[in-house]
């Protein structure tokens, strides 16, 4: 359904990961969708989808109910630019510690930088030049801030994913009923249609728009 949706609306779809079912079908898959505002349109697809149909894998042609759990997250850029405001830094210089004697560095070349907003502290005293120690300390600080930013993005992703609802009766956000009658109904917006083939062939934009219009 999502593949056909991408074909209809000029999105590109790439299968990142796929696990086949033990007997048939797909157990799980991760897909990457790119185009104009894909997350904005598809974010409300997150949840449990319920399908009722005559199973093509049942020799007795009996009606089966299946559930699919969908998770939608945005893709973050791999390049995170780190801009550091000089006013957010507390820079201290001090004597480098050494072995003593003639090799001791008696100048204030060691540098300690404290990033006040994050409380991250980095130091460098390997160079005899205060300028070089400061440059190295700034590199260390940027690395730590980049890691902090990555962790923050990961936390945001987890919050956007949310807790996936248990896959069972009563937990679904949308029903796709093919037997004994034909009806697709979104249980949040109330949108419904009997043209199930059209929806399963990718025409889900009316459902997506009904959700974006305020769950009306």
pLDDT at 62 over 80: yes
pLDDT at 105 over 80: no
Instruction: Say yes or no: 92 and 147 in one domain.
Output: yes
pTM over 0.85: no
pLDDT computed for residue 168 by the predictor: 62
Assess if residue 77 is contained within a domain: no
Helix, strand, coil % (nearest 5) of the chain?
30, 30, 40
Q: What percent of the chain has a predicted confidence (pLDDT) above 90? A: 43
Instruction: Say yes or no: 116 and 171 in one domain.
Output: no
More confident residue, 38 or 16: 38
Assess if residue 142 is contained within a domain: yes
Instruction: Say yes or no: 152 and 187 in one domain.
Output: no
pLDDT computed for residue 99 by the predictor: 44
More confident residue, 109 or 35: 35
Assess if residue 76 is contained within a domain: no
Instruction: Say yes or no: 183 and 201 in one domain.
Output: yes
Is there a contact between 26 and 19 (Cβ–Cβ < 8 Å)? Answer: yes
pLDDT at 164 over 70: no
Assess if residue 63 is contained within a domain: yes
Instruction: Say yes or no: 66 and 35 in one domain.
Output: yes
Distance CA 82, CA 85 (A): 10
What's the whole-number average pLDDT of the chain?
84
Closest CA to 2 of 20, 167, 34, 170: 34
Closest CA to 70 of 53, 51, 57: 51
Q: In which domain, by residue range, is 178 found?
A: 2-71+164-212
Closest CA to 113 of 100, 105, 122, 104: 122
Instruction: Say yes or no: 43 and 102 in one domain.
Output: no
pLDDT at 117 over 80: yes
Instruction: Say yes or no: 108 and 141 in one domain.
Output: yes
Is there a contact between 24 and 188 (Cβ–Cβ < 8 Å)? Answer: no
Assess if residue 39 is contained within a domain: yes
Instruction: Say yes or no: 130 and 180 in one domain.
Output: no
Assess if residue 78 is contained within a domain: no
Instruction: Please state the rounded mean pLDDT for residues 79-91.
Output: 84
Q: Specify the number of domains making up the chain.
A: 2
Assess if residue 117 is contained within a domain: yes
């Amino acid at each position: 359904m999502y593949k056909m949706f991408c074909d209809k609306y000029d999105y590109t779809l790439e299968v990142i990961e796929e696990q086949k079912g033990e007997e048939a079908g797909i157990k799980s898959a991760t897909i990457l969708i790119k185009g104009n505002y894909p997350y904005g349109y598809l974010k409300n697809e997150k949840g449990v989808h319920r399908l009722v149909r005559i199973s093509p894998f049942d020799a007795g042609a009996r009606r089966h109910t299946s559930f699919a759990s969908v998770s939608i997250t945005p893709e973050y850029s791999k390049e995170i630019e780190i801009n550091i405001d000089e006013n957010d830094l507390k820079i201290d210089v001090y004597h480098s510690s050494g072995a003593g004697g003639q090799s001791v560095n008696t100048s204030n070349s060691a540098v300690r930088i404290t990033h006040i907003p994050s409380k991250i502290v980095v130091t460098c005293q390997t160079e005899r030049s205060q300028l070089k120690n400061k440059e190295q300390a700034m590199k260390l600080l940027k690395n730590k801030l980049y890691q902090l930013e990555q962790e923050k993005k990961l936390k945001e992703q987890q919050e956007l994913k949310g807790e996936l609802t248990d896959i069972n009766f009563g937990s679904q956000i949308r029903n796709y009923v093919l037997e004994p009658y034909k009806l697709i109904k979104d249980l949040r917006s109330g949108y419904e249609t009997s043209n199930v083939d059209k929806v399963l062939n990718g025409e889900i934009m009316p459902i997506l728009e009904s959700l974006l219009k305020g769950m009306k």
